[in-house]
Amino acid sequence: MFCSQWDDTGFDSRGHHRQINAVLGNLCRLYNPRIVQDKSGMTIPCTSWKHFALAENARHGNAQGAVKFDFWVRFL
């Protein structure tokens, strides 16, 4: 069965735990560059995950790297 969301079976709605989708969504909003320059130099709005690769991030290389790093830090 294919789902558009992960099924977090460990989440029982008690305590201070966030569902995986909520954490991932929050990180995407946090690191969303809003506007990026594509390879031709045009300024475009960041509307997809591939645009995160075009946004530089000093610590992680790009916004995709920042989201991935911070996500796994929380779950490992």
* 20-60 pLDDT per residue, tens: 788 889 999 999 999 999 999 999 999 999 999 999 998 99
* 14 inside domain: no
* 50 inside domain: yes
Task: Give the total number of structural domains in the chain.
Answer: 1
* 67 inside domain: yes
* 2 inside domain: no
* 12 inside domain: no
Record the tokens describing residue 46, joined without a space: 């960041």
**Model pTM?**
0.72
Residue 65 or residue 74, greater confidence: 65
pLDDT of residue 1: 39
- 18 pLDDT band, cuts 50/70/90, is low
* 56 inside domain: yes
* 51 inside domain: yes
2-30 burial string, b = 16+ CB within 10 Å, else e? eeeeeeeeeeeeeeeeeebeebbeebeee
